[in-house]
Amino acid sequence: MKYSWNVAQEVLSVAPPLQGAFREALQDFVFNGFTIPKGWKLYWSANSTHKSAAYFPEPQKFDPTRFEGNGPAPYTFVPFGGGPRMCPRKEYARLEILVFMHNLVKRFKWEAIIPDEKIVVDPLPMPAKGLPIRLFPHKKA
């Protein structure tokens, strides 16, 4: 199931369930030449974090192998947040995702009804027509 989880993490990097969050600056600091004063409210974006080429080479490429070994640096892959505010149900979500993927792959083959369906971003990447598929049960041996 290790590779399955790598695939799931790559999907979560493309479309994280947590889009971001607001934080308050605890002290003055400079970011990209801009001074951010203490007390300002900031919004960090998980989607933008996952698109950083500094931490994810070829971020537009679907590559589950980027999660092999130690994976990305801490706080660069944050679909469930990070640190003390990390989603408390992260491990439950992991189990649910893996069980769903296992049953889908073991029980069905599928085909896309619209093979070249476009992806639109509003605000998440989504198939333009909802990704209709046909499921075919695997034949019993």
> What is the secondary structure of 106-126 as a DSSP string?
HHEEEEESSTT--EEESSSEE
Q: How far is CA 101 from the centre of its chain?
A: 15
Q: How far is CA 137 from the centre of its chain?
A: 28
Q: Name the burial class of residue 129, with classes exposed (0-12), middle (13-18) and buried (19+) by CB atoms within 10 angstroms of its CB.
A: exposed
DSSP H or E segment with residue 113:
none
* Ligand-binding site membership of 100 (annotated): no
* Bridge pairing between strands 125-127 and 119-121: antiparallel
Q: Which residues are known binding-site members? A: 87
Q: Which residues are known binding-site members for heme? A: 87
